[in-house]
Structure formats: C-alpha cells, structure tokens
Amino acid sequence: MIKRLLGVDVDLTVCPSDVGWYSWLQKQGQQMCWVGDYEPLPYNLGQLFPTVEDPHQYWREVDYSQFKPIQGSVEALEKLSQYFGIVFISRIKGNHTKSKYYWLKEHFPFMTEYVATHGKWVMNNSVECMIDDRLDVLKQFDFNKRVCFNTPYAQSVDCDIAINFSVWNDEIVKRICERYL
C-alpha cells in the first residue's frame, strides 16, 4: 500500500542548525548587534554580525553530523510514519546536501525520501501537508497543507496556516492524524 506523503523541512524544523550558524558567526567576527535588540530574532543571524563578509558561507559547507535532532522530532515522525510516508524537503545551499542526507538517514531511518530543491512549492501536489518553520515557504502551499513549526525568528510574510505547533510530541501527532488521515 502506498502511503500519503508528509513533507517535512529539515533546518530549524527537525535540526537545530541555527545553533551551529550562530557559533560559526561568533568565530568569524565581532557581534555588533545584541540578540536583545531584536524581538523576535532576525531569521538571518548574519544581521547580528555585520562585519562578517559572507555570513551565508556557513550554509554552503555545514557538516550536519555535529547536530542532534530537535527534541521529540524523531519519535513524533516515527509515529506518523505508520500512517504517512515521511519526505524531507529541503533547500539546496552549496555542498551541504550530502551531509544533510546522511544525517537524516542516520536519525530518521524510517524516512521515505529526501528531496533537495530550490523551490519546495513544487511538491504542493505531492504531499498531504508541508511542515516548515518559514511562512514564506508555507505560503506557496495550499492553505490546508500549511503546518508551521514555530521558532523564535521573525517571519518575512504573514499567511494563514492550518496547524501551528512549537513542540514535537504526541499531541501534534494526533492533530496531524486527525486532519490528514
């Protein structure tokens, strides 16, 4: 039996790669703006380090093996995998795609597939829902497919979403199953 697919973002949704980026930025240059100056935090942490020439270099070469999955994400997605195929859909940036794939394979061995793309929206007609931390990504999906994992970062757009959550747990598994099964 072919399972319906759930799209899941990687960075900041199941992987705390922002922590690595912040540490990398601290090593590259002096922090000129303090986190307390922003409410909410800028999604582009490079704004806190204006002396860093190319703050996005981190994303072109990040090694995902340094990270542990966001608490509860493995367990929740494994439960959801009983009913849905789990497809990680992530944006391509530089050479880190191979590292990300092997990290996902290690921590989420039940995943159905990994899709690396510049435009996640191309999967709109293929997934039951898309779980992502960015509203600008979710806005490109049909309303009923928008599931937002909340982070402390500023959003660049506003849009209505079907489900909103901040913690990977049994409650979100139940809510997703109720809505998409």
User: What confidence category does residue 39 fall into, taking pLDDT thresholds of 50, 70 and 90?
Assistant: confident
The count of residues in the chain is: 181
Those residues whose C-beta lies under 8 Å from the C-beta of residue 87, and which sit 6 or more positions away, are 5, 6, 7, 8, 111, 112, 113, 114, 115, 123, 126, 127
Instruction: Write out pLDDT tens, residues 128-144.
Output: 999 999 999 999 999 99
Instruction: Write out pLDDT tens, residues 72-104.
Output: 999 999 999 999 999 999 998 877 889 999 999
In this structure, what are the phi and psi dihedrals at residue 30, rounded to the nearest 5 degrees?
-75, 135
User: What confidence category does residue 30 fall into, taking pLDDT thresholds of 50, 70 and 90?
Assistant: confident
pLDDT for 136? 97
Task: Report the chain's mean pLDDT, rounded to a whole number.
Answer: 94
| Structure tokens, 142 | 């049909």
Element spanning 113, H or E: strand 113-117
CA distance 42 to 34: 11
Residue 1: pLDDT over 90: no
Residue 33: pLDDT over 70: no
Lowest mean pLDDT among 20-34, 106-120, 148-162: 20-34
DSSP string, 48-108: G-TT-S-TTHHHHH--GGG--PPTTHHHHHHHHTTTEEEEEEEE--TTTHHHHHHHHHHH-
pLDDT for 29? 79
Claim: this prediction has a pTM higher than 0.85: yes
pLDDT for 19? 94
Exposure string for 58-76, b = 16+ CB within 10 A, e = fewer: bbeebebeebebbeebbeb
pLDDT for 144? 98
pLDDT for 36? 66
Residue 35: pLDDT over 80: no
